[in-house]
């Protein structure tokens, strides 16, 4: 029985790693669909507007074949818009199929603190639950800490505060990084970057759950990253 235990632990570790990979793949697919839909809608809207303008100004002067071609182009634009929307909806539904459950955020932060070796974490505030996909929530929390622990930050021990609180009725988690100077342009860009890793992945996980990730100057200097979970 004891001899089988290491294999069991190894299998569980591989299963957890595989589950995280699946979640990340679904998240990446959802982000790709969102980006593709956004990028395609701009030229599609332009083309649709030009076709309507052309129809209004010149359709009466076109021969029958010309009006038929104009009708074909309008239908093609409409079909492309429908396909783009369907692509985005399918990707969103695939991510939604992964079950969500109530998670004790305070307990999740304490678990994170016991496993992080690159920073000293203090967890303060009033505990509350959030409804989340547990693996993605764990990746979000670890991603925030890892971003604050990067080697290009100022030298010295990394001490971070993880604060559970409410603001205007919203349940929030704030990571307070007093070493990192808030950059008015770089940090917001990182939140909305299309690449993977760092704050970009954290922001995607938040959008996937309907949460909001924002950054602002800290009360005592440094930078605050805040996740708003809703009421």
Q: What is the per-residue pLDDT for 144?
A: 92
Q: What is the per-residue pLDDT for 108?
A: 96
Boundary-marking domain end, from 72, 96, 120:
96
- Please, which residues bridge with residue 101 across strands? 132
Boundary-marking domain end, from 64, 96, 128:
96
Q: What is the per-residue pLDDT for 27?
A: 64
Report yes or no: 109 and 140 within 8 Å, Cβ to Cβ.
no
Q: What is the per-residue pLDDT for 1?
A: 46
Shared-domain flag, residues 84 and 111: no
Q: How many domains does the chain have?
A: 2
Per the structure, the complete domain to which residue 68 belongs is given by 5-96
Q: What is the pTM of this model?
A: 0.65
Whats the size of the chain, residue-wise? 231
Boundary-marking domain end, from 96, 119, 151:
96
What is the token pair recorded at 2? 């004891």
Cα–Cα distance, 113 to 87 (Å, whole number): 39
Cα–Cα distance, 209 to 136 (Å, whole number): 9
Q: What is the per-residue pLDDT for 9?
A: 66
Q: What is the per-residue pLDDT for 136?
A: 85
Report yes or no: 96 and 125 within 8 Å, Cβ to Cβ.
no
Shared-domain flag, residues 190 and 119: yes
Give the DSSP H or E segment for 40. Answer: helix 5-58
- The DSSP code for 196 is S
Least Cα distance to 228 among 175, 150, 182 occurs for: 175
Shared-domain flag, residues 10 and 91: yes
Tell me how crowded residue 4 is: count the other CB atoms within 10 A of its CB: 8
Cα–Cα distance, 136 to 44 (Å, whole number): 34
Cα–Cα distance, 136 to 143 (Å, whole number): 10
- Please, which residues bridge with residue 123 across strands? 162
Least Cα distance to 182 among 145, 213, 215 occurs for: 215
Task: Read off the CATH number of the domain in which 183 is found.
Answer: 3.30.565.10
Distances in whole angstroms, Cα of residue 30 to Cα of each of 89, 122, 185: 9, 33, 26
Write out the chain's pLDDT in tens, 231 residues: 455 555 676 777 677 667 666 666 666 666 666 666 767 778 888 888 888 888 888 888 889 888 888 888 988 988 888 888 877 676 666 555 567 899 999 999 999 999 988 889 999 999 999 999 888 899 899 999 988 887 566 666 688 999 999 988 999 999 998 887 777 766 666 665 555 557 888 888 888 888 999 988 887 778 899 999 988
Percent of the chain with pLDDT over 70: 74
- The DSSP code for 219 is B
């Amino acid at each position: 029985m004891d001899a089988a235990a290491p294999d069991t632990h190894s299998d569980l570790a591989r299963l957890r790693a595989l589950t995280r990979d699946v979640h990340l793949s679904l998240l990446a697919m959802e982000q790709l669909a969102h980006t593709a839909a956004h990028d395609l809608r701009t030229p599609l809207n332009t083309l649709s507007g030009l076709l309507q303008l052309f129809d209004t100004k010149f359709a009466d002067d076109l021969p029958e074949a010309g009006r038929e071609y104009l009708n074909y182009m309008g239908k093609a634009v409409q079909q492309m818009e429908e396909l783009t929307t369907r692509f985005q909806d399918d990707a969103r539904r695939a991510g939604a199929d992964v079950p969500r459950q109530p998670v004790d955020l305070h307990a999740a932060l304490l678990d994170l603190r016991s496993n992080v070796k690159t920073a000293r974490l203090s967890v303060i505030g009033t505990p509350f639950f959030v409804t989340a996909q547990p693996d993605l929530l764990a990746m979000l929390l670890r991603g925030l800490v890892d971003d604050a622990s990067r080697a290009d930050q100022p030298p010295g021990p990394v001490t971070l505060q993880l604060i559970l609180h409410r603001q205007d009725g919203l349940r929030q988690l704030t990571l307070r990084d007093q070493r990192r100077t808030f950059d008015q342009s770089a940090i917001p860009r990182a939140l909305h970057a299309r690449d993977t890793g760092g704050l970009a992945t954290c922001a995607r996980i938040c959008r996937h759950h309907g949460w909001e990730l924002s950054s602002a100057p800290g009360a005592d200097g440094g930078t605050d990253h805040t996740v708003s979970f809703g009421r």
